[in-house]
Structure 1
């Protein structure tokens, strides 16, 4: 699907990708925010978890509101990447994507439908609100990143078990952080 984004263009904009993804874009955006937060060396950079939290607040709020398409600011939609760079990134993602796809199934679709997506949105919003203080507790943002990754992947694959795992991981992360803080 993404290989066909703006086929005549030398550059691919965020707007082109958003148009290709459509409604299912909430899941990939949560997944991307989770993976960035979870990534060693990237997610541990001061400020990155807070930036990802801001994006998740924007995404989660729109998902909770029941929007069919998400809104992003025009300056972000205009951001571009050279087509060869974009295609190289897609190529690198193929092998891990195939491995992950083997484990995904449509399970418990009620957790990824309209009402379930709202529960996912509330969970994502709670995670986003907690992420800035987590920057001061070593590795706690990684738990939030993993939870967002599970929530996003669950929405993309309509796999309610992954969504439930993300919700449970969120609760476990908050309990561990609370134990360490108090």
Structure 2
């Protein structure tokens, strides 16, 4: 499947994922990456964030940890200056029932439409080269604390919100969302810190 454009807001991302053809009844992570643009940092972060944020998907044991590994791999490669992202085959081949994916997307549709109304190009420094690197560092920190979040009720949703804010900020070039992402990152770290020391 080829994608000629990268999504620029939540509804476009949801549309791209909903359009995935899954004859086997299961959607591979690689299918999602292919549909939404494997070379773009913003959509990749947003995918990890939404998967971690949507209760019907993030409630599956091991999913937050997988998304943490995915986030870590992508962010480290960005910090190393790679222009395309490599992911191991076993991670790309992970799959989930398409009914659960579509149920989660339906759950996200109304909040996505509401959120997209507020996206604007602003605070460009937060989504430029330096901003992207700071975002990558923040996401590495989030990824490192996501595995223990599986045992702390609702904490993974906070990590998912931070990743989603960062991803959406880069897609829409909205620096205000990046600032909110840093706030959510700080809150997530504060929440998990007592459990990991």
Q: Is TM more than 0.5 here? A: yes
**1:151 offset after TM fit, Å?**
0.7
TM-score, normalization: structure 1? 0.75
Q: Which residue of 1 aligns with 2:149?
A: 134
Q: How far, CA to CA, are the matches of 2:163 and 2:110 in structure 1?
A: 21
Q: Which residue of 2 aligns with 1:53?
A: 68
Contact 2:52 2:67 in 1 (8 A): yes
Q: Which residue of 2 aligns with 1:176?
A: 191
Q: How far, CA to CA, are the matches of 1:49 and 1:10 in structure 2?
A: 23
Q: Please point out which of 6, 14, 37 is paired with 1:21.
A: 37
SS, match of residue 163 in structure 2: helix
Q: How far, CA to CA, are the matches of 1:20 and 1:133 in structure 2?
A: 29
SS, match of residue 57 in structure 2: coil
**1:98 offset after TM fit, Å?**
4.4
Q: After superposition, where does 1:79-118 map in structure 2 within 5 Å?
A: 97-118=112-133
Number of residues of Structure 1 aligned to a counterpart in Structure 2: 174
Task: Say whether residues 1:149 and 2:139 are aligned partners.
Answer: no
Q: Which has the larger radius of gyration?
A: 1
- Unpaired runs of at least 5, structure 1: none
CA RMSD in angstroms comes to 3.6
**1:23 offset after TM fit, Å?**
4.0
SS, match of residue 72 in structure 1: coil
The change in CA–CA distance for 1:63 and 1:179 in structure 2 (over 3 A counts) is same
**Does 119-128 or 11-20 show the bigger shift?**
11-20
TM-score, normalization: structure 2? 0.70
Q: Which residue of 1 aligns with 2:9?
A: none
